[in-house]
Each structure stands twice: as structure tokens, then as C-alpha cells.
Structure 1
């Protein structure tokens, strides 16, 4: 089913695909950032649930263990919002939580497992 198309056409919702793990005839996972009128957003979420699409809200946040982090910068290369950057002068990792959309792409990228999610 073309979910993002239906969100745009039927509810005037802009759906930004952050992460997708979808295969034909299998259960998948799609992380979306939705933007639009609040009433339309509520209606779109109700529609998705009526289509047996499990909807969960990003109530998690990224946590970085600064004692474990080696400031290698690998996570900065996969961060789509540049919430993770290296300071140009010190080469230390800088995390701007306000830019983070909790796409979790940084979690498996960290070689020392210093990045995790918190509920």
C-alpha cells in the first residue's frame, strides 16, 4: 500500500521518510516525520491504525556515553540532520539534541557502542 502517497493525497500531510526497512509481503518498519494541520495529522494516524499499521511516537531520545565515546566521528557521517558533528578545533563529538529526530542510524554505526536510545 502506498502509505506516504495516501497521507499526502487524502490528508494533505507531508511525510519525510527518515528510515525504511520494507520488503514485499513482509512486515516492515518505516520511520516518518509528519507535518501538517494537527486535525489532519490526527485523522491520518487514525486511518493508519484502521489499516492495521502500528503507529508509535518518537518518545525516545539518543543517549551518548561520553566516557565511552572515542570521538571517531563515524556517527556524524550517517546523521541526516547534522545533530552529531565534530568540533573543528578540538575534534570532539558535539550532539545537538534539538536537531535529533531519533532515526537511530548512529546507534549501529558506533564502533564502541557509546550511542544508545533511552525510553
Structure 2
């Protein structure tokens, strides 16, 4: 099972090796999507958890007990096909290749299952055809 979550660390919890403990203690893989972690600052980490559903739930409970706030990521990228001019600028900044141009027609293709919702495409779009649902 996969579950995408956003972790918010209080300053004093930033040094805790969360991803290591997830793997070692709960047998849950943590694919880091986005991270903003620095000493003496509130940290944010967007991760995709992969493992048994019960192990993931136990890991989420443990993180909460460690003072780490866990919220479930429900955002997704939306593309207004009527506004999109298929310029391809967004494909150049998409780290997961969720955005590509169809080789024959040069129409923008969006593969939602590859999207990691990093939002790098949003400011790149010159006609503001890309947004999120939140």
C-alpha cells in the first residue's frame, strides 16, 4: 500500500532519524518527495510511505507520538486543457516526467500516476493553465 503524507517537525524533533526508524522499526519504505529541513527551524517533509497497511498506520501513530504532525496529502495538479497552449515549458521542470509532449502532435500529456505534486510546473506555465485542487 502507498500513502502520501506531509510531516511537520517542531524544531527540537528535526534531528530525529524518522525515515531510518520507519524502515528499521516498521518495515515501511519512505520515498522523499520534497524536503525542507534545517537545524533550529520547523521542518517539512513530503513522503510517500510504502508497506503493509497496518505497518503504515503504526508508523503514523509512532510519528505522532514523537511530536511530528502528520497530514495526508490530497492535492493534485490540474491542467486546464482549454487554456494550455502546449508550449512544453512545464515538461522541462517536471522531475518525474509526469508532463511530456506527445512526439507526433506536440500536445501536452499528463500522466497523473507519475506526478509527485512538487508544483514546479505551476509558476512555469506562461498562461497559468496549471493549478492545484487546493
- Normalising by the smaller structure, the TM-score range is 0.7 to 0.9
Instruction: Give the TM-score taking structure 1 as reference length.
Output: 0.86
Change over 3 Å in CA distance of 1:111–1:50 after alignment to 2? farther
Q: Name the structure 1 match of 2:119.
A: 104
Specify which structure has the bigger relative contact order, considering alpha-carbon pairs within 8 angstroms and separated by 6 or more residues.
2
The runs of 5 or more residues in structure 1 that have no matched partner are none
Instruction: Give the Cα separation in 2 of the matches to 1:51 and 1:104.
Output: 29
| 1:56 aligns with one of 71, 86, 98 | 71
The runs of 5 or more residues in structure 2 that have no matched partner are 1-15
Are 1:65 and 2:65 an aligned pair?
no
Name the SS for the 2:121 alignment partner.
coil
Checking the alignment, whether the CA contact within 8 Å between 1:31 and 1:103 is kept in structure 2 is no
Aligned residues: 119
**Alignment RMSD, CA only?**
1.7
Instruction: Give the Cα separation in 1 of the matches to 2:123 and 2:69.
Output: 24
Larger strand share, 1 or 2: 2
Change over 3 Å in CA distance of 1:94–1:56 after alignment to 2? same
Instruction: Give the TM-score taking structure 2 as reference length.
Output: 0.78
Name the SS for the 1:31 alignment partner.
strand
Instruction: Give the Cα separation in 1 of the matches to 2:85 and 2:43.
Output: 33
